[in-house]
Structure 1
């Protein structure tokens, strides 16, 4: 496990050892932050405060998992941007397309560490028989977070060659990958019609129940993609968005040189 983050050290200082003990409102109170829930028409959450205290307002009609992540996000702003008044829109929270040093991405990372601390989450991810949406859904329920938040955390912490891609009807919204996946494997903007994910996006089904094999060139236009197969599984997360897990099983895809066409064919034969 990597070194502990600020949020994880905060949890340990409060004696938090299990997911059930992650009481965000109580944690906020120890930090001088009062939490309230109200109707917000143009944002998901906002924070206003001085150097020593603040009030965080969370959109009251959001889902429970979204409320918790939004609160964790605002506590991230409190840690880094104390004294400022900030308004966070839906696009600002949980958007993995933002740059790593973007203030909203930093607040997201704080929220993920607070809600799914590595010292709890990583061991549980590694105990999963397979990294699929069935296992991720159980983690989401255990940590009381959204499926999206749990999926992002699982992919980034599982130490398996896996990508998570979010698509809307107009194309790829964002994606994230585990550190084991070389950067050259960059998912295409549009979903291939041969992919089972296309049926989920088009509304023919809500999810694909199993990880299914598909040729890698359905997802990547990287040179040599047609030589390999990967596994995919998709699930609808809203009326307009789906998530897809892409699992790399062929070791040659992870090599620096990507393997050679001839050696790949020899291995398949």
Structure 2
């Protein structure tokens, strides 16, 4: 099993071959942790460990999929950070500038809930990624829509980028490695994007992807040459997920020379 991460190695050692077999209470017990559901104030989850035993407290007032992510996140801390005092915050996306401990726990949670050895073969059966596909995976793996979308985008199967926007601007974004890093999304929404109407309460998003100019999302001169597939999904009163998919493969190539024939 060399080359796979600890969460996937654990799942394989337990004989997990289907998404419905990822029972977190049983996995926690195997790892010496007891799950307790209670009323928590100021946090969604907490872990208290001593030697090889731990108690993970989960806010019982959260939804099932949020509770599952919280359990998996705390199991990540149990794997990586035993004996360390941490101020834990459970967020399904942690920007790269956030503390390493939280990002590592999130990575463990994503692998535990949506292991690549189960997710990628299923994902490759889909020619393109849409929110309908994401919702199907969310249901099968019992994970939230944002967490599922991030995992599928970062699986690097399709040339996609996922952006979370609020009325205050871009909250975070994730992208497939094949989506060249020179494409950095603008902080503010362009009125041409259907995300603008979704965030400001004028629509619930798109049933299907639509075509939009890349310059609505990227402040680069070359963006004027390209179009993207855009699909928007509301996930709150003033929050939306935006799925961008490359339409022209040239967007995935290395940066063109300013004075060369490709510019």
Q: What range describes the TM-score normalised by the shorter chain of this pair?
A: over 0.9
> C-alpha distance in 1, partners of 2:81/2:113?
20
Instruction: Tell me whether 94-103 or 188-197 shows the greater mean CA deviation.
Output: 94-103
> What is the total number of aligned residue pairs between the two structures?
262
* Residue 87 of structure 1: how far off its partner (Å): 4.4
**Unaligned ranges ≥5, structure 2:** none
CA RMSD of aligned residues (A): 2.0
Does the 8 A contact of 2:162 with 2:174 survive in 1?
yes
Which residue, 109, 112, 115 being the options, matches 1:111? 109
Could you tell me which residue of structure 1 aligns to residue 131 of structure 2? 133
Any idea what the Cα deviations from partners look like across 1:11-30, whole Å, max 9, x if unmatched? 00000110010000000001
* Residue 84 of structure 1: how far off its partner (Å): 3.7
Q: Normalising by the residue count of structure 2, what TM-score does the alignment of the two structures yield? A: 0.94
Q: After the TM superposition, which residues 149-228 of structure 1 pair with which residues of structure 2 at under 5 Å, given as runs?
A: 149-228=147-226
Question: Quick check: 1:120 aligned with 2:118?
Answer: yes
* Residue 96 of structure 1: how far off its partner (Å): 3.2
* Residue 244 of structure 1: how far off its partner (Å): 0.5
Could you tell me which residue of structure 2 aligns to residue 52 of structure 1? 52
* Residue 38 of structure 1: how far off its partner (Å): 1.2
> C-alpha distance in 2, partners of 1:131/1:263?
32
* Residue 258 of structure 1: how far off its partner (Å): 3.7
Could you tell me which residue of structure 1 aligns to residue 246 of structure 2? 248
CA change 1:225–1:13 in 2 (3 A) is same
* Residue 180 of structure 1: how far off its partner (Å): 0.1
Does the 8 A contact of 1:32 with 1:52 survive in 2?
yes
Could you tell me which residue of structure 2 aligns to residue 38 of structure 1? 38
* Residue 62 of structure 1: how far off its partner (Å): 1.1
* Residue 127 of structure 1: how far off its partner (Å): 0.9
Q: Normalising by the residue count of structure 1, what TM-score does the alignment of the two structures yield? A: 0.92
Does the 8 A contact of 1:97 with 1:173 survive in 2?
no
Could you tell me which residue of structure 1 aligns to residue 82 of structure 2? 82
CA change 1:178–1:162 in 2 (3 A) is same
